[in-house]
Structure 1
Amino acid sequence: MSDDQRPGELPGLDLERLAVWLADTRPGLVAGPLRGRLIAGGKSNLTYEISDGESAWILRRPPLGHVLATAHDMAREYRVITALADNGVPVPATYALCQDDDIVGAPFYVMERIVGTPYRTAAELVPLGADRTRVIATGLIDTLAALHTVDPGAVGLADFGRPDGFLERQVRRWKKQLDASYSRDLPAAVELHDLLAKNLPAQSATGIVHGDYRLDNVLVDAEDRVAAVIDWEMATLGDPLTDIGLLLVYQRMSDTAMAGVSDVALAPGYPAESEVLERYSMRTGRDVSEIGFYIALASFKLAVISEGIHFRHIHGQTVGPGFEHMGEGVEPLLSAGLSALRTP
């Protein structure tokens, strides 16, 4: 994290205007002048910790500059977190949503600050030992399974997405997002998109999809339990197997030059891919026999996201460190996706 910053010093966040808005929207929540800091690690929506000196909260807003259509919808993120409270999936409490760009320059929401660790590297897990690492990773899988067994209608999310034709739209959507962020020729992207479109499997039963589920998008408490699932910006209704496919792609990336995202699967005690799939399938009852397609789709999605971040970075529209090498992972991800579709 960066050091605390005073009003006028924090990119993407006007603390004085925010304080006035919170005083009107949630009287009594804030007890004094706000300070804040940008939480490092996020490559998309910006996450800040804000504090009045006594209490602290988390604020989320879209990135600065180039924002793709349909992405970075604060209202959707806020809605799904709010709906899942007390429904078997650990999430922060939500306090306020603002869709007025005049306050901080973009829509945003404020939620509870949960104390916990978003483990990003094997080096962070190794000192815990293999047994604790296995407990943490198992909790990660079980939490995803719990999410995928929530009935969307029972928590007020029946209209949160359009599950019919979800996989076809995902393939089309990520191609459209890539077209909006092209800065170079990527022939493998064209090939992978075409193969995905031609090899759509029958969809798994509809569920709530997180959209970017991995170990550093959950907070783990001192007892090695998942205290909160965070970063819900891609959440929707659809085929939940897209989440497990993405989790496995992140796991595979641990063994490659793309491990800059996360290499947690290299830590002793982290379950093998087959164990992840077996435990997930046992907990959810879902058929994972077509996992190759979901791994390929996840690879395509991550390649598109990386290319979008690369686009913003070369145009000077990113905040914080760690963006300069994002473009290097695009072609390896596309190759991994092609390999997953071609493997029997």
Structure 2
Amino acid sequence: MVHDLLPLDRLGTALAERLGDDAWRDVDAELISGGKSNLTFVLSSSAGELILRRPPTGELLPSAHDMGREARVQQALGPTAVPTARIVFHDPGDLIGIQCYVMEKVPGHVIREALPAGYASTEAERRTMARTFVRTLADLHALDPEAVGLGDYGRPTGYLERQVRRWGGQWEASRTHDVPELDELRRRLAANIPPQQRSTIVHGDFRIDNVVYDAEDAGRVNAVLDWELSTLGDPLTDLGLLTLFWREAGEEQFSLIPGITHLPGFLTREEVLATYAEASGTDLADMAYYQAFAHFKFAVIAQGVSARSAAGAMGGQDFGNLDAEILALARDGLELI
């Protein structure tokens, strides 16, 4: 399956030439389980390991899966307080016939549905993990896009209006059945857009499993990953999505995004908001809107994953029927707004 997704002979030649090490000519690749959109591989050879990202197979939605943008933002943030992986090279398709980029494999833990054995075993360590995570987002939003060479990375004016239109368009492009609740949520979002306080670099999918935690220090983030949806815009969209994924004790987990924040010691959702407000000085009076928008956006993402999975375009990964989760997201979003 991997050999159908990556031409390893051409990839090995490209790596050897770019890195000046012939050991990369004999390269192997393994698809990392968990990728719901762009496909992520571990590349290995006797010279070490690297990470490659490429789009999914099949027909792609407009404006999605731009590998060049992912590579560019990580390169720009390299000298800043926001940790990212070093980019080895970006290929628009000339080298191996597939748009992709290769980056270093950052050491540490990518944490999904469970903490590694013996890691952050105390409630105090988990609170530190949570605070570091939220402050990393605040650090990203504190950066001046112009100062890091990303002044033209997006159009921040009218960002929310375009986001509602964009995700509405993605819904139309990927829907397989009618969900009146989601259509109503879309209508209400479009009719009640709050004024934008400021414009920053927006990650677009900031959650626990999109960072690499240091293996020895649970209070340290070694890299922020998955910049596919990054742009310039309203930072509170990042915070709204973060709080959606931040499940508390007793709440149902999302099948696509299993998490750990329900475990004893992690901040509550209100404490997450308070930590961000303190670190950034942001007024969070309109957070209910941003949380409702997060429900809409994630419902559309889930529909896209479901459609691509059913079409066999997810590298053999099967995410099952997500109709019930999409409906629940729509209903919860309506309650918020």
Identify the TM-score tier after normalising by the shorter chain: over 0.9
SS at structure 2 position matched to 1:173: helix
Percentage of identical aligned residues: 41
One-letter code of the match for 2:88?
Answer: Y
Question: In structure 1, what is the Cα distance between the partners aligned to 2:89 and 2:254?
Answer: 37
Q: How far does residue 329 in structure 1 lie from its aligned partner after superposition?
A: 1.6
The answer as to 2:105 corresponding to 1:113 is: yes
The 3 A distance-change label for structure 1 pair 335 and 252 is: farther
Deviations 1:20-54 (A, max 9, x none): 22334443385441011111111111000101222
What is the match of residue 297 of structure 1?
A: 293
Q: Give the 5 Å matches for 1:228-243.
A: 228-243=223-238
What is the match of residue 18 of structure 1?
A: 11
One-letter code of the match for 2:180?
Answer: P
Q: How far does residue 303 in structure 1 lie from its aligned partner after superposition?
A: 0.4
The answer as to 2:324 corresponding to 1:328 is: yes
Question: In structure 2, what is the Cα distance between the partners aligned to 1:62 and 1:18?
Answer: 16
Question: In structure 2, what is the Cα distance between the partners aligned to 1:125 and 1:160?
Answer: 40
One-letter code of the match for 1:312?
Answer: R
SS at structure 2 position matched to 1:177: helix
Deviations 1:46-101 (A, max 9, x none): 00010122211100001111311101110001000000002000101111000016
SS at structure 1 position matched to 2:131: helix
SS at structure 2 position matched to 1:19: helix
Asked if 2 retains the 8 angstrom alpha-carbon contact of 1:61 and 1:74, the reply is: yes
What is the match of residue 283 of structure 1?
A: 279
The answer as to 2:208 corresponding to 1:212 is: no
What is the match of residue 138 of structure 1?
A: 131
Question: In structure 2, what is the Cα distance between the partners aligned to 1:129 and 1:329?
Answer: 32
One-letter code of the match for 2:143?
Answer: V
The answer as to 2:32 corresponding to 1:39 is: yes
TM-score, normalised to structure 2, is 0.94
The 3 A distance-change label for structure 1 pair 175 and 52 is: same
The 3 A distance-change label for structure 1 pair 308 and 186 is: same
The 3 A distance-change label for structure 1 pair 179 and 101 is: farther
The 3 A distance-change label for structure 1 pair 113 and 102 is: closer
Give the length in aligned residue pairs. Answer: 333
Deviations 1:119-177 (A, max 9, x none): 11256589622122111111110100100101100000000000000000000000001
Question: In structure 2, what is the Cα distance between the partners aligned to 1:253 and 1:101?
Answer: 46
One-letter code of the match for 2:171?
Answer: L
Question: In structure 2, what is the Cα distance between the partners aligned to 1:173 and 1:101?
Answer: 29
One-letter code of the match for 2:240?
Answer: G
One-letter code of the match for 1:287?
Answer: D
One-letter code of the match for 1:44?
Answer: S
One-letter code of the match for 1:139?
Answer: T
Question: In structure 2, what is the Cα distance between the partners aligned to 1:140 and 1:314?
Answer: 34
Q: Give the 5 Å matches for 1:1-344.
A: 9-28=2-21, 31-100=24-93, 103-104=96-97, 106-122=98-114, 124=116, 128-222=121-215, 223-224=217-218, 225-252=220-247, 255-256=251-252, 258=254, 260-341=256-337
The 3 A distance-change label for structure 1 pair 85 and 123 is: closer
Asked if 1 retains the 8 angstrom alpha-carbon contact of 2:205 and 2:226, the reply is: yes
Question: In structure 2, what is the Cα distance between the partners aligned to 1:150 and 1:125?
Answer: 35
Q: How far does residue 256 in structure 1 lie from its aligned partner after superposition?
A: 1.8
SS at structure 2 position matched to 1:120: coil
Q: How far does residue 328 in structure 1 lie from its aligned partner after superposition?
A: 3.4
Q: How far does residue 333 in structure 1 lie from its aligned partner after superposition?
A: 1.0
Task: Flag as ranges the 4+ runs of structure 1 deviating above 2 A.
Answer: 8-11, 21-32, 121-127, 257-260, 325-328
